[in-house]
Structure 1
Amino acid sequence: MADRSLRGTGLGAKSFEDEAGVEFAARQEVGFDCSRGHHFTLMFAAEADTPAAWECPRCGAESLRSDGVRAEAKEEKPVRTHWDMLRERRSIAELEDLLAERLDLLRSGALGPNYASSNRSRKSA
């Protein structure tokens, strides 16, 4: 008997609670214009930080706000290369000394036969 009483209703699909006495949060509607001429609006909470750009739901292109608000330009850090990080730790004179030491070890054979043979096989390939 109990299973018949639920017939015709999808569990979890509908709420049987009415909206009487429910206060919705304040909202704001923000319009966006796509570079391909599409216009759409989205609803945000009134206290939310609204984005300056949004992906167009029709074509996927970047859409900017209709009211002219633009994103603040972020200060970008310059890309640090391996050489830049190395120069932070060592001076040119120190690097030249290290290079001279390694070349002496390589020429004297102190680095071992495996090191020299693996480099030769790389050069011939």
Structure 2
Amino acid sequence: MASGSAIRGTRVGSGPMSLAERGQPAPRHRVSYWCANGHETEAAFSAEVLEPDTWDCPRCGLPAGQDREHPPDRQRTEPYKTHLAYVKERRSDAEGEVILAEALARLRQLRAG
């Protein structure tokens, strides 16, 4: 009869597995990235992949590049737009007045009839 223990086969307080039990780690290479604030971030990548040109700085959030002397510029963020702002981009004030007049006429007709 099996026990309901989820950690069956291990003992409490057992240490980490040895390197022989885990196997060999995958070959890696480290790449340094610098942001505009001068923060250095070191990231490890598999030896089989090409590292990205930019990396987000974990300290300030700015983009960081591999060139220490010329880090990437701060990305321009677009301000939040409301639904009304998007509508105003698509319609002129004159078109808005026509649509409003049509909607009010329909509403008045529903209330009258």
TM-score by length of 1: 0.42
Query: Which structure dedicates a bigger proportion of its chain to helix?
Result: 1
**TM-score with structure 2 length normalisation?**
0.46
Larger radius of gyration: 1
